[in-house]
Amino acid sequence: MRGEWNGLQALFLKDSPQAYYVHYFAHRLQLALVTASREVLQIHEFFTQLNSIVTIVSASSKRHDQLQEAQAIENANLVAQNELETGKGVNQISTLQRVVDTRWSSHFNSICSLVKMFTATNIVLNNIIEDRTTYAQRGEAYGVSKILLSFEFVFTLHLMKEIMGITNVLCQALQQQSQDILNAMHIVSTSKLLLQKLRDGGWCNFLANVKDFCEKHEIEVNMFLEEVDLVNQHDIPNHLKGIGTLSELCNKLQETGKSRTYHIVDRLIRLVLTLPVSTATTERAFSAMKIVKTRLRSKMADEFLADNLVIYIEKELAAIFDTNSIIDDFENRKKRRIAFS
């Protein structure tokens, strides 16, 4: 709609050239979130798979009716087992929601609808596979059915639900008709705090929920979760006894060979340990540059400047060398012919 040549923006500017166009802020936030998430290959693959599942299950009115019928049967069974609350307006039969890039909330709604109708969706896919439809439709249904029942997909499904549940509140708040900058800043800070809280203390509960979901739908749990439990319960405590500093932890990981198992942790520790040194060296280099390359030496070439900076910054090492040793080293590097006039 906002096309600058023949869109709504162009029509406004044609009527009033002094008008200034500002993109809808919440719309920009949604597009930025979508673009940032799609930069992660696993997340891009997840949303592609999610779109495929929704498209196949909702491709016809027949499949839509099968989905709602399966959902009604599942709700009745859950109510009979006292696992689902009853009341006016609850447990309504719905359908899978599609993902729209310009509406970040549609991503969250699509994920929530699939989690809610996971069993019904699987039933519809099995009906397509067993039905006497074309081989192409059966093949597509078989492919997405394997994806739906894979641990990787279920894990990402729940992870994105947790993260988007927080960001969706922010998006909805920014789309209110009346909003002041202070309240918006407070909402942004709260969202960041909730995301950090999820990262720091919500991992165990999240893994437990994923496990319960997989057991309920008879999905084989990946060894990743078992390794995480092993690390939490046995591996790390035994190998971290008596360690009080990052350097000791880095050495211990290297000695026990755990640096290969926890390669990301090992790399992070090494970066943290070398960061102060790198920062200090950079600060010293900039300070030295102001002394060596002054207003009167503004035409100094880069190579000559770099050589002077090395000598100035490493003045402690440079003080060890004397002139004769430098001449001897230069002479020994390569035989040169000397011309006499």
Per-residue pLDDT of the chain (341 residues; tens, 9 = 90+): 556 566 777 888 888 887 766 655 556 666 666 777 777 788 888 889 999 999 999 888 888 888 888 888 888 887 777 776 666 656 677 788 888 776 767 888 899 999 999 999 999 999 998 886 688 888 889 999 999 999 989 999 998 899 888 888 777 776 666 666 777 778 888 888 888 888 888 888 888 899 899 989 888 886 555 445 554 554 455 555 667 676 777 787 788 777 777 777 777 777 666 655 455 556 666 777 777 777 777 777 888 888 887 877 777 787 888 888 888 887 787 666 655 55
Nearest to 106 by CA among 147, 160, 159: 160
Can you tell me the distance from the alpha carbon of 46 to that of 49, in angstroms, rounded to the nearest whole number? 5
Residue 211 lies in a domain: yes
Can you tell me the distance from the alpha carbon of 192 to that of 189, in angstroms, rounded to the nearest whole number? 5
Looking at 189, 222, 255, which one is the last position of a domain?
222
| Residues 188 and 261 reside in one and the same domain | no
Residue 120 lies in a domain: yes
Range of the domain at 58: 8-222
Looking at 222, 253, 280, which one is the last position of a domain?
222
Residue 2 lies in a domain: no
| Residues 215 and 250 reside in one and the same domain | no
Nearest to 36 by CA among 154, 199, 164: 164
Please compute Rg for the chain using Cα positions. 31
pLDDT value of residue 335: 65
| Residues 155 and 18 reside in one and the same domain | yes
| 265 SS3 class | helix
Residue 338 lies in a domain: no
Can you tell me the distance from the alpha carbon of 301 to that of 293, in angstroms, rounded to the nearest whole number? 10
Distances (CA, A) of 183 to 147, 190, 239: 42, 10, 47
Helix axes 151-174, 41-57, angle to 10 degrees: 90
Identity of residue 3: G
Residue 339 lies in a domain: no
Looking at 175, 195, 222, which one is the last position of a domain?
222
DSSP symbol at 103: B
DSSP symbol at 295: G
| Residues 73 and 208 reside in one and the same domain | yes
Identity of residue 194: L
Contact 249, 243 (CB under 8 A): yes
What's the predicted TM-score (pTM) here? 0.58
| Residues 45 and 139 reside in one and the same domain | yes
**Buried b / exposed e across 157-196, counting CB within 10 Å, b at 16+?**
bbbbbbbbebbbebbebbeeeeeeeeeeeebeeebeebee
Q: Report how many domains make up the chain.
A: 2
